[in-house]
Amino acid sequence: MTGWTTLVDAETLASHLHGAGLRVFDCRFALNDTAAGEQAWQAGHLPGARYAHLDRDLSGPHAPGAGRHPWPSAAAFGDWLGRNGVTPETQVVAYDAGDGAFAARLWWLLRVAGHARVAVLDGGFARWSSLGLPVDTDATDVVATQYPVRFDAARLLDADAVAARLAAGGVLVDARAGERFRGEVEPIDRVAGHVPGAINRPYPANLDDGRFKPAARLAEEFGAMLGDRPATDVIAMCGSGVTACHHLLAMAHAGMPGASLFTGSWSGWIEDPQRAIATGAH
């Protein structure tokens, strides 16, 4: 039916919404009110969309160094996919309120599990609603399946692996806001600053008026950041391994796949008080 692997626009999704083999997930979430996303889904969502809760469904239990949104186990994520009727052949579309920051987490979970047919709705629920496209309040029943998940562990890095990759010339890109990266403010984590050697590209730099920039423009911007280094040298991080996935999605959309995720990100890095912390722009 479809073969969307990075982004899909609202008009295209609307024309395929009732096709076989499609599963849509609402990933709306608010860090300061963890019930708000699900309540928004209950109030109105894309027809057929099921809810994916960041803490409950797209994260796992805490482990040392895992940060605020620990990476889930392959078994737990596979069980969740199966309960939601997803098979390795399913075309999955994820969306959130607008910018894709939470939807990209589900996109990356599936991509690093080897599931190619997954895309983020460009512009999210905001653009869908602005176009007057249909919204539903029903909870859709699905037939449970089995989905044996195996993550590509080489692209899911802990703090020690990140330090080793940096020492070998890797590029660590921090998706947090500049003031958090520089250590000027820290509204969420107990320590401000950044991993020494990281560079800052706040994830909204991937967007233009609420939607992803064209692939060619993203390729130009990431290319300028990388110079002659390949995309496989990139490690994306943020506060907890969520908005970092926005960079992984943007790079894949730009035709620059192969980057990795620092799963624990800043909140995992600072769990060890012996780890070095940098402040300022560099």
- The per-residue pLDDT for range 200-251, each reduced to its tens digit, is 999 999 999 999 999 999 999 999 999 999 999 999 999 999 999 999 999 9
Domain-located, residue 148 = no
User: Do 93 and 162 belong to one domain?
Assistant: no
Q: What is the DSSP string of 229-265?
A: S-GGGEEEE-SSSSTHHHHHHHHHHTT----EEESSH
CA end-to-end distance (rounded Å), the chain: 47
Average pLDDT of span 5-29 = 96
Token readout for 98 is 């607008």
CATH of the domain at 44: 3.40.250.10
Residues 45 and 107 in one domain: yes
Split into its structural domains, the chain has a count of 2
> Is the model's pLDDT at 252 over the cut of 90?
yes
The tens digit of pLDDT for each residue in 92-146 reads: 999 999 999 999 999 999 999 999 999 999 999 999 999 999 999 988 889 999 9
Asked if 64 and 174 sit in the same domain, the reply is: no
What whole-number distance in Å separates Cα of residue 167 and Cα of residue 153?
20
35: Cβ–Cβ under 8 A, 6 or more apart, which residues?
A: none
The proportion of the chain whose per-residue pLDDT surpasses 70, expressed as a percent, equals 99
> What b-and-e string marks burial along 83-119, b requiring 16 or more CB atoms within 10 Å of the CB?
ebbbeeebbbbbbbbbbbbbbbbbbbbbbbbebebbb
The residues annotated with a catalytic role in the active site are 238
Which of 97, 130, 163 is where one domain is finished?
130
Q: Is residue 146 part of a domain?
A: no
Residues 36 and 75 in one domain: yes
Going across the sheet that includes 118-121, the strands are 7-8, 118-121, 91-95, 22-26, 50-51
Q: Are residues 160 and 99 in the same domain?
A: no
The reported pLDDT for the residue numbered 141 is: 87
Name the pTM for this structure. Answer: 0.97
Q: 265 and 161, same structural domain?
A: yes
Helix axes 103-111, 244-253, angle to 10 degrees: 60
| 53 within some domain | yes
- Within this chain, do residues 113 and 221 fall inside the same structural domain, yes or no? no
Dist CA 88 CA 37 (whole Å) = 27
Distance CA 153, CA 269 (A): 18
Q: Is residue 19 part of a domain?
A: yes
Please state the rounded mean pLDDT for residues 29-54: 97
pLDDT reading at 44 higher than 90: yes
Domain boundary among 130, 161, 176: 130
Q: What is the pLDDT of residue 20?
A: 86
| Residue 274 counted as domain residue | no
Q: What is the pLDDT of residue 19?
A: 85
Q: Give the pLDDT of residue 139.
A: 83
In a domain? residue 279:
no
Considering the domain boundaries, does residue 34 fall inside one? yes
Q: Which domain holds residue 196?
A: 153-269
Residue 282: predicted pLDDT: 86
pLDDT mean over 62-66? 94
Residue finishing a domain among 83, 115, 130: 130
**Assigned domain for 275 exists:** no
The pLDDT of residue 170 is 96
CB 169 within 8 A of CB 197: no
- Residue 173 pLDDT: 98
